[in-house]
Amino acid sequence: MNLPTDFQFSQASLQDYVDCPRRFQLRYIRRVAWPALRAEPALESERFVQQGTAFHRLVHQHIVGLPVERLSSAVNDENLRRWWSNYLESPPLNLPPRHYPEVVLSAPVGGHRLVAKYDLVALDAVRRASAEVDASSRAIIVDWKTSRKRPQRRWLAGRLQTRVYPYLLVQAGAQLSAGQPLAPEQVEMIYWFAGFPAEPERFSYDAAQCEADGVYLTSLVEEIVGLGDGGFPLTDQERRCRYCLYRSLCRRGVEAGPFDDAEADDHTSADLDRASADLDRAFDELGLGDDVDLVLGLEQIAEIEY
């Protein structure tokens, strides 16, 4: 099986494969564009994705130094205003001082590249005299979640993101810490929920978990690469098909699943990743950097094609 020449694995693509190999094949190998809805009602589902994208952009602009007053004055959506207020009043506490928002890291895994774009990586300061990272210093990954339901820890622990992000930070985080590698024990991942700011979920990391993740991710990539064109079966968990664009193509139903019954952040994570990528591409085309003094309203985001 030949992947596209520009293909890089990510937590989203690996999650697609684990959830349904057929979905991975259609989305990433055949690159099939299928005109279907992810959830009903369509307008509510789409607006929720737009709100999540706008929240991520607001937080990013705040971290890079834009004034809170200016950002707050541009928020005119009720749900977004509530999330933004929660972020300002109850942000993740005791983060290290050096912040890298929306940083991209990659490393070779199984003969291919594995890439991740982090909402935020926070590191303790490097000692100037020796340019070394103290063994007691911390490297904390923060991922902003705008899911309407608070996901259970067990569900989050089973997501590829919880394995890929810490593993890649250990493998490639030296570029953020003066060339000094990070030890797994220094890494922690925090999911911070905009709707539940007092209930973040934290995952510590260690050498044993890092080794296990490396073995698992390598085997997963090698398994995908080794499959023939007919080796991508449909998932046997048909509930997932209700929120998949390809359900009618795979003859797994026509109607989208109800938005209110969607599992927390399950069907929206890929939409948010795609929306974020579209925004970044639009900014690049306009010649605007990540620290651009601009707040996108929901009306502007709605004009971007998914």
* Three-state DSSP string of 180-245: CCCCHHHEEEEEEECCEEEEEEEEECCHHHHHHHHHHHHHHHHHHHCCCCCCCCCCCCHHHHHHCC
- The answer to whether residue 225 is domain-embedded is yes
Per residue in 198-209, pLDDT (tens digit) is 999 999 999 999
- The answer to whether residue 21 is domain-embedded is yes
Mean pLDDT on 25-46: 77
Residue 174 has pLDDT above 50, yes or no: yes
Mean pLDDT on 144-167: 95
Lowest mean pLDDT among 87-91, 158-162, 229-233: 229-233
**Structural contact between residues 101 and 120, judged by C-beta atoms closer than 8 angstroms:** yes
Mean pLDDT on 214-228: 95
> Percent of the chain having pLDDT more than 90?
62
pLDDT of residue 137: 86
- The answer to whether residue 1 is domain-embedded is no
Mean pLDDT on 179-189: 95
Pairing type for strands 120-123 and 98-101 reads antiparallel
Largest CA distance in the chain: 63
Mean pLDDT on 165-180: 95
Q: Which two tokens stand for residue 286?
A: 């306009």
> Percent of the chain having pLDDT more than 70?
77
d(CA 34, CA 203): 36
- The answer to whether residue 4 is domain-embedded is no
Average pLDDT, the chain: 83
Mean pLDDT on 159-178: 96
Q: At what angle do helices 78-89 and 42-63 cross, to 10 degrees?
A: 30
Peptide bond preceding 151 in cis form (omega within 30 of 0): no
- The answer to whether residue 2 is domain-embedded is no
Residue 41 has pLDDT above 90, yes or no: no
pLDDT band, residue 261 (cuts 50/70/90): low
- The answer to whether residue 212 is domain-embedded is yes
pLDDT band, residue 230 (cuts 50/70/90): confident
pLDDT of residue 260: 62
Report the chain's terminal Cα–Cα distance, integer Å.
27
- The answer to whether residue 99 is domain-embedded is yes
Going 52 to 56 to 61 to 67, the CA torsion angle's sign is positive
pLDDT of residue 287: 40
Question: Structural domain tally of the chain?
Answer: 1
Domain span at 139? 11-302
Residue 276 has pLDDT above 90, yes or no: no
Lowest mean pLDDT among 19-23, 65-69, 259-263, 299-303: 299-303
pLDDT band, residue 257 (cuts 50/70/90): confident
pLDDT band, residue 286 (cuts 50/70/90): very low
Per residue in 94-130, pLDDT (tens digit) is 999 999 999 999 999 999 999 999 999 999 976 544 5
Residue 300 has pLDDT above 80, yes or no: no
Pairing type for strands 257-258 and 196-204 reads unpaired
Residue 283 has pLDDT above 90, yes or no: no
Residue 196 has pLDDT above 80, yes or no: yes
Mean pLDDT on 178-183: 92
Q: Residue 42 carries which side chain, given as an amino acid letter?
A: A
Residue 142 has pLDDT above 90, yes or no: yes
